[in-house]
Amino acid sequence: MDARRNLRPLGRTGLLVSPVGLGCWQFSKRKNMIGRYWPLLADGNIHNIVSLALEGGINWFDTAEIYGGGESERNLSVALQSAGIEPGQVIIATKWWPLFRFASNIKNSFPERIKALAPFPVDLYQIHQPAGFSDIRSEMHAMRQLYDNQLIKSIGVSNFSAAQMEKAWKFLDSKGIPLASNQVRYNLLDRRIETDGTLETAKQLGITIIAYSPLAQGLLTGKFHDNPELLQNIGYRRYSPLFRDTQLLRSLPVIMLLKQLADKYNVTPSQISLNWLIRFNGTTVTAIPGATKEQHVTDNAGAMTFRLSDEDMSALDKVSSPFK
């Protein structure tokens, strides 16, 4: 299956994205507290990761203002230019950070996004989380102004509940603008959006779900179950409840089935996990795994080159059902 023929709609915007994109938080160069979550990547590593993503059929990249205070955006732009990519050849998604800010800051700070990403335009601009000083309507009004002035091509949200997402959708819909997406945590070990109304509402309204942490911070690769000593060298992730002994034991049945299916399809457990994520709900869900090594992005892109059978997707659905 050619990954390049796999493009799917981003909501009802007319934009087409690969089922797997590249999350770029790790390009932050350890700038600011948020950027320190990941190890320092050399420029050459970043360029190789972006180039391999493009070669693997990935056509869109997700970053954010808060990722190193624009450092991720700048490094992404440089890497794309180094790969010979020109504006319009890929889709760029970034996010406005609302904490301790009013909606007026969306317009005021946007020139910084343009400068950081230059020469690439912002195709998808997202509210990073529902935690600003202004209400959703005010934020959507500010985003609409950018949209109407053709400064951005589409509008999205992130970490919004079903009710918050619908409120944003209603305002934009009244202006004839689609809400493109809601970026939320979603993976085989965290399926809460299936039971709290978020996924169902997105399907009803034609909103794409962008799944971040689609590999549960690497847990779904199986490597931490195979080699628990690796847990001593994973940075801030070691404080996540996912990596506690009780949770490792609880997730073991999922990992075992992923390994069995990986052998069956001659792929990796992480590719099985990603393939389930981007196929199980039709075309509603896209995934944005990150990559700190070249092999990671090759592996991620490879998840688009095959298709799990309905029977195997159902088996994964059943074994991971305790995580809904």
Query: What is the dihedral sign for C-alpha 232, 298, 321, 227?
Result: negative
H or E element in which residue 48 lies: helix 43-55
Angle at alpha carbon of residue 114, lines to 217 and 101, rounded to 5° = 70
Instruction: Give 62's strand partners.
Output: 23, 93
What interhelical angle do 245-265 and 310-319 show, nearest 10? 170
Which of 67, 125, 147, 212 is labelled catalytic? Answer: 67
Active site annotation includes 67? yes
Q: What residues have CB less than 8 Å from 161, skipping those under 6 apart? A: 130, 196, 197, 198
Q: Which of these, 98, 109, 94, 101, lies nearest to 156 by C-alpha position? A: 94
First-to-final CA distance of the chain: 30
Neighbours of 131 (CB within 10 A): 12
Contact, 41 vs 322, CB < 8 A? Answer: no
Q: Sort strands 8-9 and 152-158 into parallel, antiparallel or unpaired.
A: unpaired
Instruction: Give 8's strand partners.
Output: 17
Compute the half-sphere exposure of residue 15: CA atoms within 13 Å on the CB side of its CA: 28
| Amino acid identity at 289 | P
H or E element in which residue 210 lies: strand 208-212
Tell me the catalytic residues: 67
